[in-house]
Amino acid sequence: MISFEPFRKMIGERKISTYYLRNKCGFNNIDSKTIKRLMTDQSVSTNTLNSICNALNVGLDDIIEFIPDNENETQEK
């Protein structure tokens, strides 16, 4: 499973609002539906990931965490 928990943690620590992501990132604006997908660990495009990395000046490993499926199944039980 791909988790965006590091992204959620980062925007909380940096006090970055979803308004900022939607409206103040210039060319890299992220729409509200995409933000909702990030908040619920749903899939997003590589273009979106690129935009987030550029807007926040971070690397991909700073916003995504890979959790092997077998660990995810254990956590759900």
Tens of pLDDT along 35-61? 999 999 999 999 889 888 988 899 999
Q: Give me the residues paired with residue 29 across strands.
A: none
Tokens of 46: 């590589």
For 77, the token pair is: 């039980």
Share of the chain above pLDDT 70, in %: 87
Answer for the pair 61, 4: CB distance below 8 angstroms, yes or no: no
β-pair type (65-66, 2-3): antiparallel
Note the pLDDT of residue 29.
76
Q: How many CA atoms lie within 13 A of 24 on its CB side?
A: 7
Question: How many domains are contained in the chain?
Answer: 1
Position 44 scores a pLDDT of 93
**DSSP E strands, the chain:** 2-3, 65-66
The residue type at 62? D
Residue 23's CATH number: 1.10.260
What confidence tier does 73 reach under pLDDT thresholds 50, 70, 90? low
Q: By residue range, what is the domain housing residue 67? A: 2-76
